[in-house]
Homo-oligomer: A and B are copies of this chain.
Amino acid sequence: MGNQQEKDALFEALVEAAKALGNGRRAQLIDILGQGERSVEELAAEIHQSMANTSQHLQRLLRAGIVYSRRSGTRIYYSLASPAVERLWRALREAAEAHSGELGDLVRAYVGNRADLSMITRDELLLWLRQGDVVVLDVRPQAEYEAGHIPGALSVPFSDVKSRLREVPQGSEIVAYCRGPYCLYADEAVRLLTDEGRLATRLEDGFPEWKAAGLPIEQSATVRNAPPRP
């Protein structure tokens, strides 16, 4: 019958993934990779860390089997290793949200007051889409839109919203979405649009949740093609 040493070793291995997730920087990386694959350079810029440090965090994730990497020319692209990882990240957020009053304070500190913001759920958006006359705006960076987006959504990266206002049809209800509940791109887009007199609303969560719910997604023709994995 199995002894304690072997049991310890087994649990220590089971827990490798948790250790890898157990760091704020790496969690941000996972959150970003949930949108699609990215190069080390892009990731380093997103989390405001040096390349060397970002690279080291990514290798920790790689060793834990949480991400996958492939080389393309002089760049190396990382992506989440499997849907099991997305589920793990979601379960972690849900467990954190279920407790800890402190978390609420931190969310408020980061996202600010959302009371003025019109927000709808995924189900409500689906209803609206069936009824037509909704414009869906993907306000994430272009690369993330290309890696996958809600069918029919227009790509208007957050930074371009103001200058590309005229491209958005008048008269229709506008729904903006981004990376998820902790992402502020859609918040700001909705505020900008509302200030311009448009009817704008944000989707409560983001693209990963849409995809996780099994809803249809669309990819750009120009998406960077990843070769099949070994």
Contacts and interface: CB of A to CB of B under 8 A. Distances in A.
A19 interface: yes
Contacts of A16: 96, 100
Contact of A84 (B12, B26, B91): B91
Interface stretch (A1-9, A51-59, A202-210): A1-9
Interface of A: 1-2, 4, 6-19, 21-28, 31, 48, 64-66, 81-82, 84-85, 87-88, 90-103, 106-107, 109-112, 182, 184, 188
B92 A13 contact: no
B2 A100 contact: no
Give the oligomeric copy count: 2
A180 B146 CA distance: 42
Contacts of A11: 24-25, 27-28, 31
Contact of A103 (B13, B48, B81): B13
A122 to B, nearest CB: 20
Given A27-B18, A88-B95, A4 B188 contact: no
Given A87-B91, A88-B91, A110-B6, A100 B24 contact: no
Given A14-B24, A81-B99, A84-B94, 7 more contacts: A1-B188, A9-B109, A14-B96, A15-B22, A15-B26, A82-B95, A87-B95
B6 A15 contact: no
